[in-house]
Chains A and B, each alone.
Chain A
Amino acid sequence: MRPFRYERPDDAAAAVALLAVSPEGRYLGGGTNLVDLMRLGVETPNLLVDISGIVGHEIDDRGDGGVTIGAGVTNSRLAADPRVRRDYPVLSQALLDGASGQLRNLATVGGNLLQRTRCAYFQDVSKPCNKRRPGTGCPARTGEHRNLAVFGHSGQCVATHPSDMAVALVALDATVLVRGPGGERVVALTELHRLPGDEPERDTVLRPGELITSIALAPSPVAANSVYRKVRERRSFAFALVSVAAALQMRDGAVSEVRLAFGGVAHRPWRASVAEAALRGRPASEPAFVAALDAELERAQPLRQNAYKLPMLRRVAVRALTELAEAQ
Chain B
Amino acid sequence: MTAPASPSGAEAPVLQAVRLVVNGTEYALRVDTRTSLLDLLREDLGLTGAKKGCDHGQCGACTVLIDGQRANACLALAVAHDGARIVTVEGLADGDTLSALQQAFIDHDALQCGYCTPGQLCAATGMLQEVADGWPSSVTPETGPAHPIKLSEAEIRERMSGNLCRCGAYANIVPAIADSAR
Contact = CB atoms under 8 A, between A and B. Distances in A.
Interface of A: 1-6, 21-22, 24-25, 28, 30-32, 35-36, 38-39, 46-48, 50, 52, 76, 79-80, 82, 85-86, 89, 92-93, 96-97, 99-103, 105-106, 235-237
Contact of A36 (B56, B69, B157): B56
B49 interface: no
A276 B36 CA distance: 46
Interface string B18-59: 000000000000001110100000000000000000011100
A46 B127 contact: no
Contacts, number: 126
B32 A80 contact: no
Nearest to B64: A102
Contacts of A82: 145
Interface in B50-81: 55-57, 60, 63, 66, 69-72, 75-77, 79-80
Interface stretch (B90-98, B106-114, B128-136, B168-176): B128-136
A102 B126 contact: yes
Given A36-B57, A39-B55, A46-B1, A3 B136 contact: no
Closest 8 CB pairs of A and B: A100-B162, A236-B161, A82-B145, A237-B161, A80-B135, A96-B138, A102-B70, A6-B33
A85 B136 contact: yes
Contacts of A39: 55-56
Nearest to A79: B136
Interface residues of B, number: 47
A100 B161 contact: yes
Contacts of B1: 5, 21-22, 25, 46-47
Contacts of B76: 31, 35, 106
Contacts of B127: 101
A6 B123 CA distance: 29
B53 to A, nearest CB: 13
B167 interface: no
Given A39-B56, A80-B136, A105 B71 contact: yes
B32 A3 contact: yes
Nearest to A228: B138
Contacts of A35: 36, 75-77
Interface in B82-123: 123
Contacts of B71: 102, 105-106
Contacts of A21: 1
Interface of B: 1-3, 11-14, 16, 32-34, 36, 55-57, 60, 63, 66, 69-72, 75-77, 79-80, 123, 126-127, 130, 133-138, 142, 144-145, 157-163
18 contacts: A3-B12, A3-B32, A5-B33, A31-B76, A32-B75, A36-B75, A46-B11, A48-B33, A82-B145, A92-B136, A101-B70, A101-B130, A102-B60, A102-B63, A102-B70, A102-B71, A103-B75, A236-B138
Contact of B57 (A3, A48, A85, A103): A103
Contacts of B160: 101
A107 to B, nearest CB: 9
B60 A100 contact: yes
Given A5-B3, A96-B138, A101-B70, A237 B162 contact: yes
Contacts of B13: 3
Contact of B123 (A5, A25, A96, A101): A101
A102 B138 contact: no
Contacts of B3: 3-5, 46
A94 to B, nearest CB: 10
Given A80-B133, A89-B142, A105-B126, 19 more contacts: A3-B13, A3-B14, A5-B1, A5-B14, A5-B33, A6-B80, A25-B1, A32-B75, A35-B77, A48-B33, A80-B136, A82-B145, A92-B136, A96-B137, A101-B70, A101-B130, A102-B63, A102-B70, A103-B72
B145 A85 contact: yes
User: Which of A21, A85, A106 gathers the greatest number of chain B CB atoms within 10 Å?
Assistant: A106
Contacts of A96: 136-138
A318 to B, nearest CB: 21
B126 A236 contact: no
Nearest to A84: B145
Given A3-B13, A106-B72, A28 B33 contact: no
Nearest to B67: A105
